[in-house]
Amino acid sequence: MLDILRRIIQEVNAAQDLEQALSIIVKRVKQSMAVEVCSVYLADSDTQHYVLMASDGLNPEAIGRVRLAPGEGIISVVVETAEPLNIDNATDHPRYLFIAETGEDRYHAFLGVPIIHHRKVLGIVVVRQHAQRRFEENEVAFLVTVAAQLSGAIAHAEVIGAIQISGRGLLQGNNHDGRALEGLPGAPGIAIGTAMVVYPPADLDAIPDRTITHIDAEIATFMAAVKSVQDDMAALGLRLSPKLSVEDRALFDAYRLMLGSDTLINNTLDRIRTGSWASGALRETVNEHARIFDEMDDPYIRERAEDVRDLGRRILVCLQSGKRNAPPYPDNTILVGEEITATMLAEVPGEKLKGVISARGSSSSHVAILARALGVPAVVGAGDLPVARMDGRELIVDGYLGKVYVQPSPALRAEYDRLLREEKQLTAGLAELRDLPAITQDGLRIPLYANTGLLSDVASSLNSGAEGIGLYRTEVPFMIRQRFPSEEEQRRVYRQVLEAYAPRPVTLRTLDIGGDKELPYFPINEDNPFLGWRGIRITLDHPEIFLSQLRAMLRASVGLNNLHILLPMISRVTEVDEALVLLNRARQELCDAGETIERPRVGVMVEVPSAAYQAEALARRVDFLSIGTNDLTQYLLAVDRNNPQVANLYDSLHPAVIHALVQIIQGAHKQNTPVSVCGEMAGDPAAALLLMGMGIDSLSMSAASLSRVKWVIRNFTRTQAQDMLAQVLTLDDANAIRICINTILENAGLGGMIRGGSISGKHSLFH
């Protein structure tokens, strides 16, 4: 069964469009279950009708015509109960609806199973037989497994289908405006622009579709790549042939044959001649060939699929090594990728980057944080996005709602243009607050700092009126290199940041790699990276890396004395003690060498539940605490901050997080240690007020959030914030807390700043 399932899923995933995907499903399921009919009905999201989309066994004329309204027919019973329905004689069922054109009255046995994706019944897969019988338990289980496995693939194919409808026509796409691609809000704002797909090197499946005009040049490039792989294989074969057995040599011969084969090469050339670029043509040909092998019953022949893919990868590496093959970034670039990395973001010229869409990630993953730092609207976790087909298309990125519109209609585009203009006006209005302090109407002053990690956004943080840097993520300069930066390279980067802000404070966090932040040159392979070797755990295990970073920070601060050092991922006091020993050692070494280095202020990040419970003990050891609500939320709620599947459970307004924050702040204050929040929560205007009610001493956020937070602080009082907290602390559910805060803010006349204003009235800066 597993084998059958694997094959069906492979075929469905490779399908060109929804129609093809569904016809594969009905054909294969009918075959495997030896039934007389297999059909799929899908929900039409506009009308809520269930439409017969594919069938093997029913009258083909009925496909696309039979539409069942809510409550109509046995199908609707499956929809309503969202459970399988197994009956021996469908015609006896009280909800049975006779539909002459399907010809299904000949069949008695009926098994219908819902296809559910993200809690919604997308459709129903039905099998029928003439005989009057109930389907066996194992048959039901098989169909349930098929439906569960296929729901994601169908959702994906549905999206591709919607896009292709517009692609085939005049690219107007007004027939699917209502069907935005759903993702998660990554960074607030709206962007309209042209998609530029970016992808990791040497990954055939990541290659996007792209068209070219210079066909001869593309053919020459492709043939040169093939020749280069042929030469490599010949050289390899020669070098290894004395050591190889006859069978092993046969493998090399098979590779050489394939490379010389008409099919692999000529099919690719044919595709290039139709205007596809070489990499995309190669991807299609390799997938086509590999699929043929995949379908073979003989396991040995099936293995050959991997050879074809391997060969494809080798040719691709050659294609990519000569030149980048990437067209120039469009003026209004919307960067699109399966997984957008810091490097990919950093490579786009700042003035061209308008929006970001990542198929993976969630609102608190680092791509989202970086986008927010750069003030670029982003949608993340758009898992159904057919990335490879996006290149060059016009897109709207709605970073407030986490939605993407592909090839929008002129009407929708005009509506978003209007929103964009309104947003610019709002930002311009807020800009007037730049040089004013964040002070409540009853006189409480809350310093607002900026979070950064890129040198290029230090300037934008300065312009936003930040009073210093509350979190400089030093892993970013580490990520955009091919090796660890030297001590001097680091010193120069840190010096620029410290100098730009002096005499205002700058908090440099020591290296926080691990988790989802991997350095290309320092791979860490773990089953549970977020519970593994991360942050301070790595740097304490590698004192040479840690000392070099600490020395670079200390040397960068000479004469400025505005350096604060922050230690990430602390989960026990001994880690702080050990880090302080190394810091003293680094300073002593520099002083011994004749430099005059002031002692920096040192802080600990509270982002792990154990640190929350030990806030007071930690506060006793250092000069300040900084709460990392991104990780604290993830670890307290046991919800991976990067996993879109559970993103709806990730909520910094969960009562457990709120109570932990209160406890941390109280613990720090018992030691008279100031405490700040540098997680994304600080940049949410409403949450910032709640934190103020708890007695937070300062807030650090992305530069783009600063003016909004300042505005709400200046329009609220400390007493109001304390009252709000008192009410929130009586509630035991995140949604109730959200409603309570929203109501209080609406009543205080701050609703406008909490909502971004929108077409649907649903835009919210405060998700």
> What is the DSSP annotation of 178-218?
T-PEE-EEEESSEEEEEEEE---TT-GGGPPP-B-S-HHHH
* CB-CB neighbours of 140 under 10 Å: 17
Spatial separation of the C-alpha atoms in residues 33 and 86, rounded to whole Å: 15
Q: Which two tokens stand for residue 251?
A: 């493998």
Considering CB distances under 5 to 8 angstroms, the limit depending on partner class, which of ligand PEP, Mg ion, none binds residue 360?
none
Per the rule left: phi > 0, alpha: psi between -120 and 50, beta: everything else, 48 is left
Q: What is the largest CA-CA distance in the chain?
A: 96
Q: How far is the CB of 509 from ligand PEP (least distance, A)?
A: 8
The answer to whether the CB of 606 falls within 8 A of the CB of 612 is: yes
Pick 369 or 675: Cβ nearer ligand PEP: 369
Pick 57 or 381: Cβ nearer ligand PEP: 381
The answer to whether the CB of 385 falls within 8 A of the CB of 359 is: yes
The answer to whether the CB of 685 falls within 8 A of the CB of 438 is: no
457 is a contact residue toward Mg ion (CB under 5 A): no
Residue 117 annotated to the active site: no
186 is a contact residue toward ligand PEP (CB under 6 A): no
| Cβ burial, residue 706 (10 Å; 0-12/13-18/19+) | buried
Q: Which of 108, 176, 678, 763 is catalytic?
A: 678
Interacting residue with ligand PEP among 575, 607, 651, 697 (CB under 6 A): 607
Alpha helices in 715-760 (DSSP H): 718-728, 734-747, 751-754
Pick 39 or 700: Cβ nearer ligand PEP: 700
- CA distances (Å), origin 165, targets 65, 159, 635: 18, 10, 43
388 is a contact residue toward ligand PEP (CB under 6 A): no
The answer to whether the CB of 337 falls within 8 A of the CB of 196 is: no
Q: How far is the CB of 553 from ligand PEP (least distance, A)?
A: 17
**Pairing relation of β-strands 563-567 and 506-509?**
parallel
Interacting residue with Mg ion among 73, 183, 453, 628 (CB under 5 A): 628
Q: What spatial distance separates the first Cα and last Cα of the chain, rounded to whole Å?
A: 43
The answer to whether the CB of 582 falls within 8 A of the CB of 550 is: yes
Element (H, E) at 352: none
Site mask for Mg ion (CB under 5 A), range 604-623, x = bound: ---x----------------
Spatial separation of the C-alpha atoms in residues 653 and 660, rounded to whole Å: 11
Position closest to ligand PEP via CB:
628
391 is a contact residue toward ligand PEP (CB under 6 A): no
Q: Which of 366, 564, 654, 763 is catalytic?
A: 366
The answer to whether the CB of 283 falls within 8 A of the CB of 312 is: yes
Q: Which two tokens stand for residue 150?
A: 């296929």
Residue 292: what are its φ and ψ, rounded to 5°?
-60, -45
629 is a contact residue toward ligand PEP (CB under 6 A): yes
Pick 391 or 512: Cβ nearer Mg ion: 512
631 is a contact residue toward Mg ion (CB under 5 A): yes
Q: How far is the CB of 468 from ligand PEP (least distance, A)?
A: 16
Q: Which stretch binds ligand PEP (CB under 6 A): 189-197, 320-328, 493-501, 624-632?
A: 624-632
Pick 195 or 508: Cβ nearer ligand PEP: 508
457 is a contact residue toward ligand PEP (CB under 6 A): no
Pick 11 or 631: Cβ nearer ligand PEP: 631
Residues, the chain: 767
194 is a contact residue toward ligand PEP (CB under 6 A): no
Pick 387 or 627: Cβ nearer ligand PEP: 627
| Cβ burial, residue 411 (10 Å; 0-12/13-18/19+) | exposed
117 is a contact residue toward ligand PEP (CB under 6 A): no
Q: Which of 761, 38, 181, 118 is nearest to 419 (CA)?
A: 761
| Cβ burial, residue 590 (10 Å; 0-12/13-18/19+) | middle
Q: Which stretch binds Mg ion (CB under 5 A): 452-460, 600-608, 664-672, 685-693?
A: 600-608
Site mask for ligand PEP (CB under 6 A), range 350-369, x = bound: -------------------x
Residue 678 annotated to the active site: yes
Footprint of ligand PEP on 673-732 (CB under 6 A): 678-679
Pick 473 or 555: Cβ nearer ligand PEP: 473
Interacting residue with ligand PEP among 393, 473, 551, 564 (CB under 6 A): 473
Site mask for Mg ion (CB under 5 A), range 110-129, x = bound: --------------------
Q: How far is the CB of 334 from Mg ion (least distance, A)?
A: 28
Q: How far is the CB of 158 from Mg ion (least distance, A)?
A: 36
Give the catalytic positions in this structure.
366, 678
The site for Mg ion (CB under 5 A) is made up of: 607, 628, 631
The site for ligand PEP (CB under 6 A) is made up of: 369, 471, 473, 512, 607, 628-631, 678-679
